[in-house]
Amino acid sequence: MVKIAPSILSANFANLLEDIKKVEQAGVDLLHMDVMDGHFVPNITIGPLVLESLKGKTRLPFDVHLMIENPDRYISDFVKAGADIITVHVEACHHIHRTVQSIKAHGIKAAVSLNPGTPLNSIEYILADLDMVLIMSVNPGFGGQKFIPSALEKIRFLKQMIHEKNLAIDIEVDGGIKLDNAREVVQAGANILVAGSAIFHTESIEETVRLFRKKLNC
């Protein structure tokens, strides 16, 4: 079963809850929240305060993508603010194993993300500790960028690695996912798709989510 995770980065922040209600009604599975600090990535977005204000206002799980330096410092803040899954970037962590353990110690799901240029072997020895791997298919920082095709091969290899180790780990893919490439991404091995502009920058969110489901047979 493929899950759809709209990225609120492309939502209308003047009416954020309204947009969240729209994706919820359209039947999506997760709410992808992009946290950027202006250091790890060249953009600044939201922090725990915004998550906290949405807590309890939607039944959608909070899938929190931390694109920040020194994420260890903020894990408990994001857990308190309502995170159900926290994803950290392997490139931002000196001691990724410790960071993953500290996320899990809070009783929530832990995930690690890899930038397009980061090899899969950077997570080989922590794979068994993860609930999910997030493969970036754009360089993080902005919504609305073009899908980088080499991500497909990376997803295939990751799927193989997971299979060989006999693990059950979600593969989420983020960046440039549209109606016309979603199927390919799922065929490569992804089971959670993040889509920001493709969902929020459309006339009918409900119709777009329906079309995604149709393309993916899910």
List contacts with ligand DX5 (CB under 6 A).
7, 9-10, 32, 34, 65, 138, 140-141, 143-145, 174-177, 194-198
Closer residue to Zn ion, CB minimum distance, 181 or 217: 181
Closer residue to Zn ion, CB minimum distance, 22 or 89: 89
Annotated active-site residue 174? The verdict is yes
Please list, in sequence order, all residues whose beta carbon lies within 8 angstroms of the beta carbon of residue 6, skipping any fewer than 6 positions away: 23, 28, 31, 32, 194, 195, 196, 199, 200
Per DSSP, helices labelled H in 69-204 are: 75-80, 96-104, 151-164, 182-188, 197-200
Closer residue to ligand DX5, CB minimum distance, 90 or 198: 198
Handedness of CA 63, 68, 72, 77 (dihedral sign): negative
27 is in an annotated binding site: no
User: Order of strands across the sheet with 31-36?
Assistant: 3-6, 192-195, 170-174, 132-136, 109-114, 85-89, 62-67, 31-36
47 is in an annotated binding site: no
User: Interface with Zn ion includes 37 (CB under 5 A)?
Assistant: no
Q: Which of residues 132-191 bind Zn ion (CB under 5 A)?
A: 174
Least spacing, CB of residue 123 vs Zn ion, in Å: 17
Residue 170, strand partner residues:
132
User: Interface with Zn ion includes 65 (CB under 5 A)?
Assistant: yes
| Contact assessment for residue 185 and residue 156, using Cβ atoms and an 8 Å cutoff | no
Closer residue to Zn ion, CB minimum distance, 11 or 204: 11
Strands (E), the chain: 3-6, 31-36, 62-67, 85-89, 109-114, 132-136, 170-174, 192-195
Q: List the catalytic residue out of 19, 34, 37, 63.
A: 34
Q: Which of the choices Zn ion, ligand DX5, none does residue 9 contact, using the CB cut-off of 5 to 8 A by kind?
A: ligand DX5
Annotated active-site residue 29? The verdict is no
Least spacing, CB of residue 84 vs Zn ion, in Å: 15
107 is in an annotated binding site: no
Footprint on this chain of Zn ion (rule: CB under 5 A): 34, 65, 174
Catalytic residues: 34, 174
